[in-house]
Chains A and B, each alone.
Chain A
């Protein structure tokens, strides 16, 4: 019984230490684990034109402009605080639409984000189309608000 006790204590202490160590490592690498930056991050850090990064946020309502005769699309990405202009030449994913979350990969050059790839990010809500319509009609729609990229920074 004594030995079992020892082993139990040992396993618990080892697991606790391991947990702390992993937590510290994750905190140290925070910057690299973050998959995308919000428009606010871009506005505050002003990254240089050579730095590849990902921009995440909502496609601003009414901002999408498709250039005639080419595959170039211009739109604005917002986190409801700051807005970044995005230019993309290529095929957009099925889920890309206004009010929808997107992540664009590319470079921030002269005040505009030149995207080489655009991915759609969807929220955690699933419902039939009729229910979504009913919610929108009755004014209870809050779908897009859950897409804020950094809820902890909301004022």
Chain B
């Protein structure tokens, strides 16, 4: 793991972050502009759901990001637990609020879509319930990170929670196949090709790129903040101990 530890050096990471951040912002701004334009002007109304299907272009990317962020958090937590890599915990911490925001958005936009189409804001089916559990996992993770004064213990406890909670991610993904749910099965990623017409799939994918770029950009900002906060903590300790 010598290679991995090269990046443990925060100055090296900060340099890298300095390069990635403006690019991520540029990709985000470009793809969100194109994505929104396509979502409203080139994408047609759905044959059954009419104009309400346009909610898909924020709902689906948000739901993908909710699961993606949790996966990042779980992998980073495993790295943090096993190899004690300092940047791993920092990246997991920085990801949690972004993932929680995406999870909230997927639930809220799903509700706004469900009311006119299904006839209800909310049902306790396997898909909706497991995503709600995901939101609670994010909140629990953030609470646990904040609950300890000792950063090492906080990192350990929350990493364990993130790993245990990861079982929920495949449950979310396959809930629509394993059980009868009100939520329909997957459209984009499924056997035998996607069941979304290309004129609707493209804006969806571009919006997904936009959301991912947004995540990378905010992640860089948040990780830099965490690293500066570490330095502040060290400085304060030095002062207390007669600096």
Contact = CB atoms under 8 A, between A and B. Distances in A.
Q: Quick check: do A and B touch in the complex, using CB within 8 A? A: yes
Interface of A: 4, 7-8, 11, 14-15, 18-19, 22, 26, 30, 33-38, 56, 92-96, 100, 103, 117-133, 146, 149-150
A124 B184 contact: yes
Given A11-B163, A125-B195, A126-B53, A132 B120 contact: no
A125 B180 contact: no
Contact of B196 (A7, A56, A103, A127): A127
Contact of B195 (A15, A92, A124, A130): A124
A33 B179 contact: yes
B195 A126 contact: yes
Given A19-B167, A26-B171, A120 B117 contact: yes
B117 A122 contact: yes
Given A22-B167, A35-B180, A121 B195 contact: no
26 contacts: A4-B82, A11-B82, A15-B163, A15-B166, A18-B164, A33-B179, A35-B180, A93-B116, A94-B116, A94-B119, A95-B117, A103-B182, A117-B120, A119-B118, A119-B182, A120-B117, A121-B118, A121-B184, A123-B195, A124-B187, A125-B196, A126-B56, A128-B47, A128-B199, A128-B200, A149-B180
Contacts of A127: 46-47, 196-197, 200
B6 interface: no
B190 A124 contact: yes
Interface residues of B, number: 43
A126 B163 contact: no
B49 interface: yes
Contacts of A34: 179-180
Given A124-B187, A129-B47, 9 more contacts: A22-B167, A35-B181, A120-B117, A122-B48, A123-B184, A124-B184, A126-B56, A126-B197, A146-B195
Nearest to B186: A124
Contacts of A15: 163, 166
Chain A interface main SS type: mixed
A118 B119 CA distance: 8
Contact of B117 (A7, A36, A93, A128): A93
Contact of A11 (B81, B123, B124): B81
B118 A124 contact: no
Contacts of A150: 180
Contacts of B78: 11
A149 B179 CA distance: 10
B196 A126 contact: yes
A132 B47 CA distance: 7
Nearest to A26: B171
Instruction: Give the 6 A-B residue pairs with the shortest CB-CB distance, closest first.
Output: A93-B119, A128-B44, A132-B47, A127-B197, A35-B125, A124-B187
Contacts of B53: 126
Contacts of B185: 124
B148 interface: no
B63 to A, nearest CB: 14
A152 to B, nearest CB: 10
